Amino acid sequence: MQWNTSKRQGFNGVRRVASCEGTYVCKNERCPYFHSYNKQNKMQFKRLAKDNTVCGCCGYDADQVSCDAKKIWEFHSETVMIYHCGKHSCSAKRVQSVAITEVATKFFHGNTAAKPSQFPYEHLRGLTKKEKSVEDIYAKAKGMANLKKIQILNKK
């Protein structure tokens, strides 16, 4: 989403409007994502050039699904109002964030010499030993994908 400054009658603060860029879909029937999940890939894509986006699983050209929805931010002195106009015709990605702050803080307090990259490895290894389900381990792994956040927790 790229935003533009706009004006509204009766509002004197900063107002920004952004259009949804839509999403992509892979139509390759031999895509590994299609065989694994029995549906088209609408989540994992790589932008090779400005006009060239490919499927992150199979590398075939992705078809763009356009969307006319808009998002509007109105910045007041101490608050921000956010409006959504229109209906999304694309499939929005869900943000799934697993809170790891507490677990990471305990880990780094107990292991002061540990590097930030050791935490995800040790934590996921511990989950596999506790015989957690694959879905639980995958959800925890998604939460530990942001190494920058783990580095900040390590410094604290």
Q: State the pTM of this model.
A: 0.48
Handedness of CA 43, 47, 50, 53 (dihedral sign): negative
- Residue of 13, 45, 3, 14 lying closest to 28 (CA atoms): 45
- Can you tell me the distance from the alpha carbon of 55 to that of 61, in angstroms, rounded to the nearest whole number? 6
Helices (H), 27-131: 32-37, 101-110, 118-129
Q: Is the pLDDT of residue 143 over 50?
A: yes
Kindly indicate the confidence band of residue 2, based on its pLDDT and cuts at 50, 70 and 90: low
Average of pLDDT values for 17-31? 87
The pLDDT confidence band at residue 35, using thresholds 50, 70 and 90, is confident
55 Cβ contact list (under 8 Å, min separation 6): 24, 26, 28, 31, 33, 41, 44, 45, 46, 61, 62
Share of the chain above pLDDT 70, in %: 89
Distance CA 112, CA 130 (A): 24
Q: What is the pLDDT of residue 3?
A: 62
pLDDT reported for residue 1: 52
**What's the confidence (pLDDT) of residue 98?**
55
Q: What pLDDT score does 96 carry?
A: 47
Alpha-carbon gap, residue 140 to 34, rounded angstroms: 24
Tens-place pLDDT, residues 91-121: 655 544 556 778 888 888 888 888 888 888 8
